[in-house]
Structure 1
């Protein structure tokens, strides 16, 4: 287990339904199997992260299969980088859609997968559905992860925290960031906005990392049904930035055709294993 005590940084060991560190700090495992490692001082809201309604909507949309190509590409990239017996951390794991695919890759190599997210509802859903994965409620800005304990770190549309990611990765470890491509969901933007815009695409340098490659996955999809369209909309930042008129136009549709594109930015932590 790569999790460590958020109070003192000590390694956590499982004892029945409790995780305990050498100094005696203990954390109960929930019935679903996840652990809450988010200190109260780091909870900047009463219920941080995605709500239950947002998590349910995302699970409903992802079940349609429209994002399977992204999931499969990420799994293939991790398979190329993960050493035998290696550890994967899915930072910002959400409801576990991508984490589960990474688990399949790691299991073939005798490795492990852990997922963290600040949303209790997301982690609860992930742990309830996907077994064999260590899930924790935690902040990406203060990861309860041991130093240099992770071989591959993935981040799909979650906050990017280079310092923390560098700390937990082993020397020579791989960081994979999923970011939206230029025309990702452009068809949705054409409905929402009178002047739709493309996302910026650029390679960002991070201290202590070497940039290796940009891998892209692009498709055109047609989302059927107002419920599925609304679920996709609620997964995006546009849900919070769109005016009432734009949202009403989208909600009148019973089919939405749009481009989708993820770019996977791949980095290696400097140093040798």
Structure 2
């Protein structure tokens, strides 16, 4: 089931040939890779919003190494737990589709569907080109082009959390799964980058209209081999933008990086 709606008027979108169209005559072309651009110009706060092609390519290099497979598998397990038969999943901030593809396999087994949105055209293009059967769209999480009460499960992995929008698109009783970094996630990297490495804060945040169901943790140690993979991991993190030159040089001098990784999945149900 298509959950995308027209960003101009809010009407339902239907697929016609190589475009999505609404009853009011608004039309959005489907790109060759299979995605659609539903981000109005007025919502673009940069000429090219979101991750660049270089950032997307780097993330694909790292994720292809299997380092985050345990996180992907746990998210898919949680989604399967809460997804009803014929259910609808929305991956908010889908990136290049690494997690979305695993969600699709769970949904497909229940005759369900998956949609993914991200503000980065490069990420969505990469996702749609690689993973078929999923509806992908370039869109803002702050203005989701999705109908009200249309999703059974909404996932968000390290993307902006917009509780009001997520509440709007989830069905009553629908589940929101947020992935946040654990206290010592990438601590081994921080020990290289900073003279005084710090732990991430861990706390359970309450959101209006949602019941907190609990926290699921995935924690392990990884060994990242090769400068290309280490650099790719670095570029995926916020540390890439706030580390001084010396810290970056220390990391780039490594051929092997050993670090702890930890994701916490926070689960909420819409009241």
User: What is the TM-score of this pair, normalised by structure 2?
Assistant: 0.99
Partners of 2:245 and 2:46 in 1: CA distance: 26
Following TM superposition, the consecutive aligned residue runs of length 4 or more in structure 1 with deviations greater than 3 angstroms are none
Partners of 2:109 and 2:229 in 1: CA distance: 34
Which residue number in structure 2 is paired with residue 4 of structure 1? 5
- CA-atom RMSD in angstroms: 0.2
What SS does structure 2 have at the residue aligned with 1:49?
Answer: coil
How many pairs were matched up? 270
Which residue number in structure 1 is paired with residue 65 of structure 2? 64
What SS does structure 2 have at the residue aligned with 1:33?
Answer: coil
Residue 170 of structure 1: how far off its partner (Å)? 0.2
Which residue number in structure 1 is paired with residue 80 of structure 2? 79
Partners of 1:245 and 1:145 in 2: CA distance: 45
Q: Gaps (5+ residues) in structure 2?
A: none
After superposition, the C-alpha distances for 1:14-55 in whole angstroms (9 at most, x for unaligned) are 001010000000000000000000000000000000000000
Which residue number in structure 2 is paired with residue 256 of structure 1? 257
Which residue number in structure 1 is paired with residue 39 of structure 2? 38
Partners of 1:161 and 1:242 in 2: CA distance: 27
Which residue number in structure 2 is paired with residue 125 of structure 1? 126
After superposition, the C-alpha distances for 1:224-244 in whole angstroms (9 at most, x for unaligned) are 000100000000000001000
Partners of 1:266 and 1:91 in 2: CA distance: 15
Partners of 2:180 and 2:112 in 1: CA distance: 26
What SS does structure 2 have at the residue aligned with 1:136?
Answer: strand
Partners of 1:240 and 1:89 in 2: CA distance: 29
Which residue number in structure 2 is paired with residue 231 of structure 1? 232
Which residue number in structure 2 is paired with residue 112 of structure 1? 113
Q: Gaps (5+ residues) in structure 1?
A: none
User: What is the TM-score of this pair, normalised by structure 1?
Assistant: 0.99
Partners of 2:34 and 2:228 in 1: CA distance: 30
Matches within 5 A, 1:1-273: 1-270=2-271
